[in-house]
Amino acid sequence: MKHPQLPSYLDQSETVRDRFARLKQRDVVLEVKDLGKVYKSTKGDVTALKGINFKTHRREFVCVLGPSGCGKSTLIRILAGLESHTSGDVLLDGKPVTGPGRDRGMVFQGYTLFPWLTVKKNVMFGLEMNGTSAFEAGREAELWLELVGLERFANAYPHELSGGMKQRVAIARALVNQPRILLMDEPFGALDAQSRARMQAHLLEIWRNIDITILFITHDLDEAIFLADRILVLKAHPGEVQELIEVPVPRPRHANQSTSPEFLATKARLEALIHPPEPEPDPDAEVKPHMIRFVNVADNVE
Amino acid sequence: MNLSSWFAVRRELSPRKRTMLGAGSFLLPLLVWCIVSYVPFVWHPMVLVNNPGDVDYFQVGMLVDKGVFAEESSTMQSLGKILPEGNPANPIYLPAPHEVAKAFYTAFITPPEQHDGQWLHESLWHSVQIIFWGFLISSLIGVPLGILCGTYSAVSRLNEPFIEFFRYLPAPAFGALAVAILGIYDGPKISIIVIGTLFQQVLIIANTTRKLDYALLEAAMTLGTNRIRLLFHVILPGILPELYRDQRILLGWAWTYLIVAELIGTSSGITWFITQQARYQHFDNVYAAIFMIGLLGLGSDQLLARLGKKLFPWDRPANKE
C-alpha cells in the first residue's frame, strides 16, 4: 500500500464519535426498508435495486456513491416519487411515499429551471402551486435568493445565468417549499472544477444554517467525503448496499482537509469498494495499438 | 472578400451579407423577368403590329405569332404590296414589370367595371376575413386538441389515427358538400380553410407538445404541482414559443387554401378579382393581385415574427440575432 501509516477509516476521534452519537439521537426523517426495483424489459426482468435498507436522521448529510449502473439515480427518483418501486417501503416521517410531493425537494443535474420564468418567479413557483399568495411568495423568494446570493439576478431569465448560478436557483426553488429532505441527483456534475468546489462549500453553508436533511448522489469520491456525514456505497448488478461509511473527517470541513489522514483513509476504502482489485473485463483493454514510427529517428520529443 | 467566407458550411453570415442576399433573392427573379421583358432578342415569340400594310386581317395593336408575321411579310413582298411593320413582343399573359407596377397602383384607384363589382381593396379585405375566420375556428379546435393529444396518450390514441387518415383527404373535395350544407356565401369557403388547416394543426401541435422536456414536468411535480396545474403552468407556457412558430407556419398553410376556397359557391374576394381580370385579359392586374397576396402573407408573417420576439423574451432561437 502507498500509505502504510494511514489509520483505519473506522477510527474516529472523540469529537467525531460524539457527533455521530448525537446525530443518531435525532428523529429519523427518511427510512428505506428492503427497497427493490425490477424493470420488465424484452430480455426479461432486470433487477435495478435489491434489498436497500438505510435510515436518515434529521439534519444529516448523506451521500450515495457508486459506479455507473448501480441504480443510484433510480434510488433517488424512487425517493422523490418519480418512479415506482416493486418491493419494500420508503417512509418519510413514518408515512409511506406514494408519489412526488413538496415534502421532498429535488435538485436535478440538468438544472430544469423553467425557462419562461424569471429567477424570482422560478423560486416562487412551488409556493404559488401550493396556494400561497403571489405577494407572500414573492417575499419568501426574495429571502431565499438572498440566501443563495442571487438577489441581483431576480429578474434575469435562466438562460442568462451560468451553470453554477442556475443550480443555486434550483436549490433555492426547492428549499423555499421547506421540504423535510432535499434530494440532489449529481447536482454539480455538469460544472467545471472551480465552480464545483465553490458550490460544495456553499451547499455546506446552507445545510449548516437551515433545518434540512440532504441526500446527495455523486460519483465523485472527494465530493462525497467532503460533504457527507455518512456515505452509502452501492454496487452494481444488482444495485445493493455495499457499506454505509461514517466519514471520520471532523467538521467544519475545509478544502485543505483533503490531505488529512482521515480523508485519505476514507478515500482509500471507497476506492477499494468502487474499483475492486479484480476489475471486470474492460473492452477498452482489448484494444492493442500497434505503434509505427512515422518521424525521423533524430527528431525526438522526449 | 474571398469566396470561402460565403460558403462556410453551417456557419452564420455577417449581417451585411445576410441583408445583401435577402435583397438578392427578390432582385434575381425580377432581373430575369426584366431581361425577358425588355431585351428584344430574348424570347419575344410574338410581333406587335403597328402598321398592317396590305395584309387584310392585320390591325394596329394586334399581336401575331412571329412565324405568321414572317410568312405574311414574304407573301406581300412577292406580290409587290406594302409590307406590314411591327416590333417583337411577348405574349399577352406576360406583361412587363413596369406594366404590373402600374397596375399595382391603378388597381386601387380604378372603380370596378360592373356597378355591383368590388374595389380591389374590398376584395382583399374580404379574403383576409375568410382567412381570419377559417384560421380562428381551426385554431379554437386544433390548438387545445393538439395540446391534449401531446399530453395524454389516451386522447392521442383516440384521435390521431383518424386525423392521420383525414388529413390525406383533399380539402377542395369537400367543396360541393360544404355548399350543400352551408350555402353559397362565406360559410363553405371558411369551412374549406378549416378542413385544410385543422388536421395538420392537431398533429403538429401534438408533436410540439411532446417535445417539451419531461424533466421540467418532473421538477414541477417535486415542487408539489398537481396534474391540472401542470397543464396550465408548465406544459402551456413551456411550449408557447414553439406553438407560436407552428401557428405562423399553419397560417401560411391556410393562405394556400384561399384561392380554392373562394372559387366555391359564389366566387368572391381576391379570387373573384383575379378571375374577372383574367377574363378581360388584364394580366397586369392578375399579376398585381397575385403579388398582393404574396406581400400580405409575407408582411403578416414578418409582423408576427417581430411580435413573437417581444412576447417571448426567454425564447432563445427567436432572439439569437
Of B218, B234, B314, the CB nearest to A159: B314
B226 touches chain A (CB under 8 A): yes
- Whether residues A100 and B222 touch (CB distance < 8 A) is answered with yes
Band (pLDDT 50/70/90 cuts) for residue B321 is very low
- Whether residues B225 and A129 touch (CB distance < 8 A) is answered with yes
pLDDT tens figures, B38-63: 998 899 999 999 988 888 898 888 89
Which is higher by pLDDT, B121 or A164?
Answer: A164
Of A110, A130, A157, the CB nearest to B314: A157
**Cα-Cα end-to-end distance for chain A:** 31
Same domain, B181 and B311: yes
- Whether residues B224 and A102 touch (CB distance < 8 A) is answered with yes
Q: Looking at CA atoms only, how far is residue B305 from chain A in angstroms?
A: 18
Of A81, A110, A174, the CB nearest to B215: A110
Band (pLDDT 50/70/90 cuts) for residue B318 is low
pLDDT tens figures, B74-95: 999 999 888 899 999 999 899 9
Query: Which pLDDT belongs to residue A224?
Result: 94
> Structurally, how many domains does chain B consist of?
2
Same domain, B141 and B273: yes
Query: Which pLDDT belongs to residue A161?
Result: 92
Q: In the CATH hierarchy, which fold is given to the domain comprising A14-103+179-286? A: Rossmann fold (3.40.50)
For residues A74 and A238, is the Cβ–Cβ distance under 8 A?
no
Chain A residues 174-193 within an 8 A CB cutoff of chain B: 174, 177, 183
Q: Is residue B36 part of a domain?
A: no
Calculate the alpha carbon distances from B110 to A280, B97, B119, B187, B291 in Å: 87, 19, 8, 29, 18
pLDDT tens figures, B97-118: 999 999 888 888 888 777 667 7
Query: Which pLDDT belongs to residue A277?
Result: 58
Same domain, B65 and B147: no
Same domain, B151 and B274: yes
Same domain, B85 and B164: no
Q: Quick check: ipTM above 0.85?
A: yes
Same domain, B202 and B255: yes
Query: Which pLDDT belongs to residue A3?
Result: 52
pLDDT tens figures, B271-301: 888 888 888 888 998 999 899 889 999 999 9
Q: Is residue B234 part of a domain?
A: yes
Query: Which pLDDT belongs to residue B120?
Result: 81
Q: Looking at CA atoms only, how far is residue A99 from chain B in angstroms?
A: 9
Instruction: Find the residue in A nearest to B220 (Cα).
Output: A126
pLDDT tens figures, B19-36: 999 999 999 999 999 999
Q: Looking at CA atoms only, how far is residue A199 from chain B in angstroms?
A: 20
Same domain, B191 and B305: yes
Domain range annotation of chain A: 14-103+179-286
Same domain, B122 and B239: yes
- Whether residues B314 and A116 touch (CB distance < 8 A) is answered with yes
Same domain, B236 and B136: yes
Q: Is A68 exposed, middle or buried (0-12, 13-18, 19+ CB in 10 A)?
A: exposed
Which residues in chain B have Cβ-Cβ distances shorter than 8 Å to A157?
313-314
Same domain, B85 and B120: no
Query: Which pLDDT belongs to residue A279?
Result: 54
Query: Which pLDDT belongs to residue B53?
Result: 87
State the best of B212, B223, B244 to mutate against chain A, taking most chain A CBs within 10 Å. Answer: B223
Q: Looking at CA atoms only, how far is residue B201 from chain A in angstroms?
A: 24
**CATH code for the domain in which residue B178 is found:** 1.10.3720.10
The whole domain housing B133 covers 116-319
Closest C-alpha among B239, B233, B221, B218 to residue B147: B239
pLDDT tens figures, B227-260: 899 999 999 999 999 999 999 999 999 998 998 8
Q: Is residue B145 part of a domain?
A: yes
Q: Is residue B22 part of a domain?
A: no
Structural domain ending residue among the three candidates B89, B124, B144: B89
Low-confidence ranges of chain A (pLDDT < 70): 1-4, 276-282
DSSP structure string for A86-131: SEEEEEETTEEP-S--TTEEEE-TT----TTS-HHHHHHHHHHHTT
Q: Is residue B95 part of a domain?
A: no
- Whether residues A112 and B229 touch (CB distance < 8 A) is answered with no
Give me the long-range contacts of A78-81 (CB less than 8 A, separation at least 24): A78/A35, A78/A37, A78/A49, A79/A30, A79/A32, A79/A104, A79/A181, A79/A183, A79/A215, A80/A104, A80/A106, A80/A183, A80/B218, A80/B222, A81/B221, A81/B222
Which residues in chain B have Cβ-Cβ distances shorter than 8 Å to A173?
223
Instruction: Find the residue in B nearest to A107 (Cα).
Output: B219
Same domain, B202 and B73: no
Query: Which pLDDT belongs to residue A289?
Result: 85
Chain A residues 105-164 within an 8 A CB cutoff of chain B: 105-106, 108, 110, 112-117, 125-126, 129-130, 157-159
Instruction: Find the residue in A nearest to B241 (Cα).
Output: A116
Average pLDDT of chain B to the nearest whole number: 90
- Whether residues A126 and B226 touch (CB distance < 8 A) is answered with no
Same domain, B57 and B124: no
**Span B163-184, average pLDDT:** 91
For residues A106 and A185, is the Cβ–Cβ distance under 8 A?
yes
